[in-house]
């Protein structure tokens, strides 16, 4: 059944989600820079959202609100404001409204799982660093609102694969380094080549969010992941192969969290989505040619 859905955020994730939802629903996109009341989280911002929910413009009311806003980096204050204060304000505004709230979380909330075994949504979280900590605090606010009666779900996104990569993404650096090599190839330095991460194509992540906006019932958290762990060294090798370059990988011996791989069971059961993933697929969809 067609719904009227509000998507907050017009970045590459928000845009991809809106594009998918527009196939079957009426979608309204609002971005914080264009609406000061939302950025300030004041009465004007509250009125903007609740008027859309009530259908005060003469159209049907919004039945789903999707929040893709957030920060990947910045000062501690900026990270807390975007990743904690904003979703906390949103769930307060939406309390008692009857709408569904879909909030984009992050795999960084898990921290170090301690192994490469797939991590279920029920796992204990151990976020480290301001990004993971702030995203987890935002998730806690959403889960508390759910316990209070809000129809809410956290779509916990893993590492994105897209041609529009944020500079903070390791994939962005890999593409940059491989592309900068001469035709005969050369050496690429990695902090720790054996690092393992779970990646998901932007299209699959957006499809997961869109599905959570539309299915009848949702659990509290759903991993948006492939369930496949891929080594950083293998990704760089696959990227170099697409450019027909020989590559030598040199380790800087600066290990971080060894492995983070998600359990995609809920994604399959709830959304019917079973993402594929490999080093070659990452190289192809990261814009390496």
Residue 48 pLDDT level (bands cut at 50, 70, 90)? very high
Question: Is pLDDT of 57 > 70?
Answer: no
Summary mean pLDDT of the chain: 95
**Which residue in 104, 91, 86, 89 sits closest to 148, CA to CA?**
91
- Domain borders along the chain are 4-161+199-227+261-277
Tell me the whole-structure pTM to 2 decimals. Answer: 0.96
Q: What is the pLDDT of residue 58?
A: 66
Domain range 4-161+199-227+261-277, its CATH number among 3.60.10.10, 3.40.50.720, 1.10.10.10, 2.60.40.10: 3.40.50.720
What pLDDT is stored for residue 60 in this prediction?
85
Alpha helix ranges (H) inside the chain: 12-21, 36-40, 43-54, 76-80, 86-94, 129-147, 170-180, 202-214, 232-242, 265-271, 279-285
CA distance 202 to 223: 14
Residue 289, pLDDT score: 76
Tell me the pLDDT tens digit for each residue of 93-142.
Answer: 999 999 999 999 999 999 999 999 999 999 999 999 999 999 999 999 99
Given a contact cutoff of 8 angstroms between Cβ atoms, the answer to whether 244 and 189 are in contact is: no
Q: Determine the Cα–Cα distance for residues 194 and 231; give it in Å rounded to an integer.
A: 5
Rounded distance, CA 74 to CA 129, Å?
A: 12
DSSP state of 60: P
pLDDT value at 4 more than 80 = yes
165 Cβ neighbours under 8 A, 6+ residues apart: 171, 172, 175, 286, 287
Nearest Cα neighbor of 208 from 166, 154, 171 is 154
Give the residue-averaged pLDDT of 188-213.
97
């Amino acid at each position: 059944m067609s719904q009227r859905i509000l998507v907050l955020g017009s970045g590459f994730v928000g845009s991809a989600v809106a594009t998918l939802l527009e196939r079957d629903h009426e979608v309204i996109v609002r971005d914080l820079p264009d609406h000061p009341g939302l950025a300030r989280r004041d009465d004007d911002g509250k009125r903007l959202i609740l008027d859309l929910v009530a259908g005060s413009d003469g159209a049907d009311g919004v039945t789903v609100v999707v929040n893709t806003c957030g920060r990947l980096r910045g000062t501690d204050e900026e990270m807390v404001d975007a990743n904690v204060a904003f979703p906390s304000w949103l769930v307060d505004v939406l309390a008692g409204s009857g709408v569904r709230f879909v909030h984009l979380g992050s795999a960084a909330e898990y921290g170090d799982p301690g192994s490469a075994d797939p991590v279920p949504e029920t796992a204990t979280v151990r976020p480290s660093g301001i990004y993971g900590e702030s995203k987890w605090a935002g998730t806690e606010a959403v889960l508390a609102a759910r316990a209070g009666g809000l129809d809410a779900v956290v779509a916990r996104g893993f590492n994105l694969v897209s041609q529009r990569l944020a500079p903070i993404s390791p994939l962005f650096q890999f593409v940059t380094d491989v592309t900068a090599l001469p035709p005969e190839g050369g050496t690429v330095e990695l902090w720790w080549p054996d690092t393992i991460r779970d990646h998901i194509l932007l299209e699959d992540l957006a499809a997961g969010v869109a599905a959570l906006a539309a299915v009848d019932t949702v659990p509290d958290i759903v991993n948006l992941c492939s369930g496949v762990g891929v080594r950083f060294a293998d990704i760089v090798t696959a990227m170099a192969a697409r450019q027909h370059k020989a590559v030598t990988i040199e380790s800087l011996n600066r290990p971080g969290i060894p492995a983070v791989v998600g359990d995609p069971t809920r994604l399959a059961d709830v959304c019917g989505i079973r993402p594929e993933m490999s080093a070659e697929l990452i190289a192809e969809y990261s814009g390496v040619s």
